[in-house]
Amino acid sequence: MKEQDSKKFTEILRNAFSVSEDTASNRVIRTRLQDAGKVTGTNMCMMVCANIIACIGLNSGQSADRGAAGFFAADGI
């Protein structure tokens, strides 16, 4: 009985974290790109937010060992 439960649990996890279930085929992706695919809606919003976050990270000039406390320090050193 435990082995069946373990297999069922594994199957549930595999289905829950599957990235292949909701993907387009290579042919569909190629066609979308060749037809001047546009990025709109939620995808565009996510790309803009990611760019803003990346720019802030690149412009902060902080080393990784200082962390957030160094970034928000009043003296800026």
- The number of distinct structural domains making up the chain is 1
Is 22 part of a structural domain of the chain?
A: yes
List C-alpha distances in Å: 65 to 38, 53, 68, 72.
39, 19, 9, 14
Is residue 10 in some structural domain? yes
Number of residues in the chain: 77
Q: Is residue 76 situated within a structural domain? A: no
Distance CA 7, CA 3 (A): 6
The arithmetic mean of pLDDT across residues 6-30, rounded, is 82
Domain containing 60 equals 2-71
Angle at the Cα of 32 from the Cα atoms of 28 and 36, rounded to 5 degrees: 165
Q: Name the DSSP class of 20.
A: S
Report pLDDT for 1: 58
Q: Please give the radius of gyration of the chain, using alpha carbons only, rounded to the nearest integer.
A: 22
User: Does residue 30 fall inside a structural domain?
Assistant: yes
Can you tell me the mean pLDDT for 47-75? 68
Find the mean pLDDT for residues 28-33.
Answer: 81
Instruction: Determine, yes or no, domain membership for 33.
Output: yes
